[in-house]
Structure 1
Amino acid sequence: MLSIIYPYRERDLDRIRFSLNSLCKQTNKDFLVYFVDYGSPIDHARQVKDLLEDYTFVKYFYCFTEYQPWNKSKALNSVVKLLDTDYFFVADIDMIFHPSFIEITKKLSETREVWYFKVGFLSETESINEKEFSEYKVKFESNKEATGLTLCPTKQAQTINGFDELYHFWGSEDTDFHVRLVNAGYKLNYYDKDLVMLHKWHKTYRNKEVNHLTLSLQVKGIVQFNQLHLKQAVDNKVTKVNNSNWGEVISEIDFKELQSKSQIQVINNLSTEVNYFVFQQLANLKSGVHHFQFKKNKNTAQLKKQLKQVLKFKQQSQKFYSLKEINDLVLLHIVNFYHYYSYTYQIEDNLKSINLSIKVN
């Protein structure tokens, strides 16, 4: 049996219908879908779960990561680590499958090698209506650079600890996975004999990055950061990544505990105060749940004057971070060094404060 894994967060329901309906039409029914909802808001998640009840071949899993950045690697690893089927396929909610897709993957799996696939991309208008696979008009096709849709022997993936969980937001985790499989001595193949998948149109994610604080979690330059991490995997011939906790996500119990805030430490936007928290205090937290709130001081000018008097640095002005700068510094530090911890990270609706809760075992 082939395991198909969908990593997902708060996308429109029609995409789910289009993709799963194409699987309903498969000539070979020997597959099972693992639908990993990586932190959709609860109301949306309920709609997704209700929809998926119409598909008997789907298992739905909810991760309590609504207040964490998107992490495709963690979503996939939560299934890959425990899989006992010989092969799995990394799907995408934008995919529409050819009726012979499962049949083709069955034949490819006989090679015991890794495969990824050419994809046909649809235009915005062509993506609106559901059709038979052969009736869609393809706007353009992908090449070998597009690595997101992979058919992989389960044991090979488990040997290298799955996908690298350092990759947050978007970019490079799929290519990194391929690079490390090859570094480990496994063979990687590109299937372009037939067009067996179509990709529904959506806005480009990278265009969403902005230079000001938003309710949607972002870190400035994260795509370039991920690309540098990929370069390290290539240059250093990396194979195994992650620690022994790979594949684990925050539990419902921990999530609820983190939402019950008490004894919140307020950290003002003075650069030295923020830097001390990031590079010293955070690393030395005692066991338990800790809550922090970052906010801009209401009277920055008065605070500067007080600091000069207290510190007697009259000749030196103090630097203050914007909340966007605090966000980029703190969140980048969290996703690099604390992503194995149970934590939540929320930006207030008024964009005037940032809340971090973290549990130390």
Structure 2
Amino acid sequence: MITILYTYRNRNLERIKRSLDSLKKQSNQNFEVLFIDYGSDQDLAIKVKDLIANYNFAKYEYLFTKYQPWNKSKALNYAVKKITADYCFNADVDMIFHPEFTSVLEKNKDLDKLVYFQVGFLSEEESSKDLNFDDYKIKFLTNEEATGMTLFPVQKLRDIQGFDEFFHFWGSEDTDIHNRLKKQGCQIEFYNSKLLMLHQWHKNYRQRETQKLNLELQLSRIVEINSIHLKYNVENQKVIVNSPKWGEISSEFDFKQLETFENELILTNETDVIDHFLFVKLPKFQDGILSVRFIQDEFQSTLKYKIKKAAGKKVPNYFSLKEINDKVLLHIISFYHTYPYSYKISKDLKSITFRIKK
């Protein structure tokens, strides 16, 4: 048996249906699907759960990570720790599979080998169509550098404590897992004998990224930071990179505790205030819930401030809320992502609320 793993958050239902419908057409049905919803909005999560209930080979599970940045590594690790199959395939809700796909997976099972697959990318227009696999027009094909769609021996993943959970938002976790498993002696094979997967178009993280504060959680330069971390793991010959708490996710109980906590600390955007919080107050806090709301200091908008600043007189230095966002998120993914926490940007983009349970 092979478990096909989907990790998901807030994507449209049509692409999920196309992907699961293509699995329904497989000539070999010796597989199961574990669909991990990494904190989608509640209304959409209900619709996704109802959709997946129509496929007898699929199981849906919701994780209470709605107010945390996207972390594919954590979602996959959560699944890897609980599945019972000897092999898993890292799928994607954007994939449409050839009817022979799972048959090829069966033929390539090897406890000492990873097999990753070539993917055909579709245009935006082509992705909106419902066609037989061979009737789609392919825009371009991936090469050996695209390592995402991989068949893994599950025990090998467990032996190295899974995907590196530093990698948040987008990029590098798939190449990193290949590098670390290769160092453990696993063979790695690129399968391109026959095209077995098509990728439905969507905007990627880079295309969505903005230089201003956004309701979508974003961290400036995270793709580059992830790339540097990938190189760090290679240069330092890293194999096991996660803490013993790898694959652990905040529980529903923790989520509700954070949501209902009322004792809030208000901090202005003065640079000294923010630095003291990040480097003193946050690391020293223990045994409870810390809730902080970051806002702009009212003085910053006054005429008095502007006159004094223009005159070269001493005034407070300020971070923008976007700068605070990037600093706090970088601290979270570096030091605090194993704790239950929530991170919210207000709808009017005028405040940020961070809560953590330590």
Match of 2:236 in 1: 236
1:100 and 1:196 in contact (8 A); partners too: yes
For each residue in 1:196-217, what CA deviation from the matched residue of structure 2 results, as whole angstroms up to 9, or x when unmatched? 1111111232111111111111
Cα distance, 1:14 vs structure 2: 0.5
Quick one: distance in 1 between partners of 2:156 and 2:303?
Answer: 57
1:225 partner letter: I
Cα distance, 1:301 vs structure 2: 6.8
Which sections of structure 1, spanning at least 5 residues, go unmatched?
Answer: 309-313
Q: How does 1:93-132 map to 2 (within 5 A)?
A: 93-110=93-110, 112-132=112-132
CA change 1:121–1:302 in 2 (3 A) is closer
> What TM-score, normalized to structure 2?
0.96
When the two structures are aligned, how many residues end up with a matched partner? 353
Match of 2:346 in 1: 348
Structure 1 ranges of 4+ moved more than 6 A: 301-305
For each residue in 1:305-343, what CA deviation from the matched residue of structure 2 results, as whole angstroms up to 9, or x when unmatched? 8xx9xxxxx975431111111111011101110000000
Match of 2:276 in 1: 276
> What TM-score, normalized to structure 1?
0.95
1:356 partner letter: F
Quick one: distance in 1 between partners of 2:28 and 2:301?
Answer: 70
Identity %: 48
Quick one: distance in 1 between partners of 2:329 and 2:86?
Answer: 37
For each residue in 1:137-167, what CA deviation from the matched residue of structure 2 results, as whole angstroms up to 9, or x when unmatched? 1111100111111101001111111100000
1:267 and 1:292 in contact (8 A); partners too: yes
Query: Do structure 1's residue 191 and structure 2's residue 191 form an aligned pair?
Result: yes
Alignment partner of 2:59: what SS? strand
1:161 and 1:240 in contact (8 A); partners too: yes
2:262 partner letter: S
For each residue in 1:276-326, what CA deviation from the matched residue of structure 2 results, as whole angstroms up to 9, or x when unmatched? 000110001120112110000112277998xx9xxxxx9754311111111
CA change 1:280–1:99 in 2 (3 A) is same
For each residue in 1:90-109, what CA deviation from the matched residue of structure 2 results, as whole angstroms up to 9, or x when unmatched? 00001000111111010100
Match of 2:326 in 1: 328
For each residue in 1:43-80, what CA deviation from the matched residue of structure 2 results, as whole angstroms up to 9, or x when unmatched? 11000001111001111010111100000001101110
1:151 partner letter: L
Quick one: distance in 2 between partners of 1:303 and 1:219?
Answer: 32
Match of 2:27 in 1: 27
CA change 1:112–1:301 in 2 (3 A) is closer
1:114 and 1:151 in contact (8 A); partners too: yes
Which sections of structure 2, spanning at least 5 residues, go unmatched?
Answer: none
Alignment partner of 2:106: what SS? helix
Cα distance, 1:129 vs structure 2: 1.4
Quick one: distance in 2 between partners of 1:213 and 1:315?
Answer: 29
CA change 1:192–1:301 in 2 (3 A) is closer
2:340 partner letter: S
Match of 2:137 in 1: 137
1:117 and 1:150 in contact (8 A); partners too: yes
1:39 and 1:67 in contact (8 A); partners too: yes
Alignment partner of 2:233: what SS? helix
For each residue in 1:182-227, what CA deviation from the matched residue of structure 2 results, as whole angstroms up to 9, or x when unmatched? 1122111111111011111112321111111111111111110000
Question: Considering only aligned residues, what root-mean-square deviation do their CA atoms show, in Å?
Answer: 1.6
Cα distance, 1:11 vs structure 2: 0.4
Cα distance, 1:22 vs structure 2: 0.3
